[in-house]
Amino acid sequence: MFLQRAAEFSYRICQKLAGKESIMRVRDLIAVIALFAAATLLASVGSLKATIKEYDIPTPKARPHDPAVGPDGALWVTEQMANKLGRLDPNTGQFREYPLKTPDSGPHGLVADKDGNIWFAAIFKGYVGKLDPKTGNISEYRMPDPHAKDPHTPVFDQKGILWFTLQDSSMIGRLDPSTGDIKLKPTPTQHAVPYGIVVTQDGAPFFCEFGTNKLGSIDPHSMAIREYSLPQGARPRRLALAPDGTIYYTDYERGYLGHFDPRMSKQEEWRSPGGENSEPYGITTTPDGVVWYSESGVRPNTLVRFDPRTKAFSKTDIPSGGGVVRNMAATKDGKIYLACSGVNKVAIVTP
């Protein structure tokens, strides 16, 4: 519909401009079409109707970084500057904190295993950790390579293997929880800055290369890495896996929401409602396939909803401002958990 309207509008403008110098016609035509396209895009963004309830982190200036969903539905969060993990009971609002063993670990990403243990990436101290919430005991798994300094985001595959990105080390890691064995694989592109990571339904880890305009995948058996180029200037930061096996990503640098089909190696993108400086960041998908993400460059931060069926966007402001929502996670019943770094809060979104 948009392309049809744009074509009809362009044709009318061309008729009006007929007879003038060709350069002026082209320049004026481009300007008018650009204004028309921008107006159409803005008109297609609706108001997001959702309830956002925020909770304070007990420790001041904790810098809540990443949220995760526990097997029991609890909201877990890394408190990066407080050197703790936090757990919010969404039913009671009770918040409990778990101090880490090594000072200044800088917990970053986290994920729960099927037994309820919480695995986290200690980006400041170069290890992967495991918290047993029942006992408070923490196990640490150190990197086998001294150049592997900054584990970033972890995710489990279907066989219980933990995969993780190492940001400035430009590596992908594989940890076998049954043995503690860690294998590392450098990315083909130097300074790739691997960031967000997901595992597809067929067991293949895919990750962002935030330092360049690429996505990557790693073979779970051979650990061979394949890279996929995105548009020039793109900087993919976070990923979310859709129920159909495709991947959505936030293009932080250009202000786009991107979509990648691993089976077809096909990519498409949409300008984020906040525009080129919106800095899309944290992202997730709910079980119905709807995409949710944050615009961290907009003040206050906005929560954006994208419906893949209709290609319609809607958005709302985060009440506290968000202070940069770096990541989010979806529950089985369609709620969204947020970590609001700069305002020391977590939030639960109920659509």
Residues 82, 229, single domain; the answer is yes
Residues 171 and 207 sit within 8 Å (Cβ to Cβ): no
If you average pLDDT over residues 143-153, what whole number do you get?
97
Q: How many domains does the chain have?
A: 2
Residues 66, 24, single domain; the answer is no
Residue 303: give its domain's CATH number.
Answer: 2.130.10.10
pLDDT tens digits, 184-226: 999 999 999 999 999 999 999 999 999 999 999 999 999 999 9
Residues 107, 12, single domain; the answer is no
**Residue-level pLDDT at 3:** 42
Domain that holds residue 114: 49-350
327's tokens: 């990541």
SS3 169: coil
Angle CA 268–348–256, to nearest 5: 20
State the Cα–Cα distance between residues 77 and 131, nearest whole angstrom.
12
Residues 17, 161, single domain; the answer is no
85's tokens: 């993990």
SS3 210: coil
Task: Using the predicted structure, report yes or no on whether residue 6 has a pLDDT greater than 60.
Answer: no
Residues 218, 173, single domain; the answer is yes
Give the β-pairing of 45-47 and 312-317. Answer: parallel
Evaluate the CA torsion angle 266, 272, 277, 278 in order and state its sign: negative
Could you please report the per-residue DSSP string of 55-109?
EE-SSTT--EEEEEE-TTS-EEEEETTTTEEEEE-TTT--EEEEE-SSTT--EEE
- 36 pLDDT tier (thresholds 50, 70, 90): very low
Residues 321 and 343 sit within 8 Å (Cβ to Cβ): yes
**Residue-level pLDDT at 112:** 99
**Residue-level pLDDT at 33:** 41
Residues 154, 6, single domain; the answer is no
If you average pLDDT over residues 123-132, what whole number do you get?
99
If you average pLDDT over residues 237-251, what whole number do you get?
98
pLDDT tens digits, 37-61: 443 344 379 999 999 999 999 999 9
Residues 54, 131, single domain; the answer is yes
In 3D, which of 89, 165, 115 has the Cα closest to residue 327? 165
- Read off the amino acid at residue 322: G
Task: Using the predicted structure, report yes or no on whether residue 336 has a pLDDT greater than 80.
Answer: yes
State the Cα–Cα distance between residues 112 and 56, nearest whole angstrom.
22
Residues 201, 274, single domain; the answer is yes
**Residue-level pLDDT at 219:** 99
Q: Which residues contact 111 (CB under 8 A, 6 or more apart)?
A: 68, 118, 119, 120, 154, 155, 156, 162
Task: Using the predicted structure, report yes or no on whether residue 76 has a pLDDT greater than 90.
Answer: yes
Query: What does the CA dihedral 281, 287, 288, 294 come to, rounded to 10 degrees?
Result: -10
Percent of all residues in the chain with a pLDDT value above 90, rounded to a whole number: 87
Task: Using the predicted structure, report yes or no on whether residue 142 has a pLDDT greater than 90.
Answer: yes
**Residue-level pLDDT at 344:** 98
Residues 93, 28, single domain; the answer is no
33's tokens: 């079409």
Task: Using the predicted structure, report yes or no on whether residue 11 has a pLDDT greater than 50.
Answer: no
Cβ-in-10-Å burial (0-12, 13-18, 19+) of 1 comes to exposed
- Read off the amino acid at residue 37: A
Residues 23, 60, single domain; the answer is no
- 69 pLDDT tier (thresholds 50, 70, 90): very high
Q: Is the pTM of this model over 0.85?
A: yes
State the Cα–Cα distance between residues 280 and 315, nearest whole angstrom.
13
Residues 249, 313, single domain; the answer is yes
**Residue-level pLDDT at 22:** 45
Residues 112, 178, single domain; the answer is yes
144's tokens: 């086998």
- 16 pLDDT tier (thresholds 50, 70, 90): very low
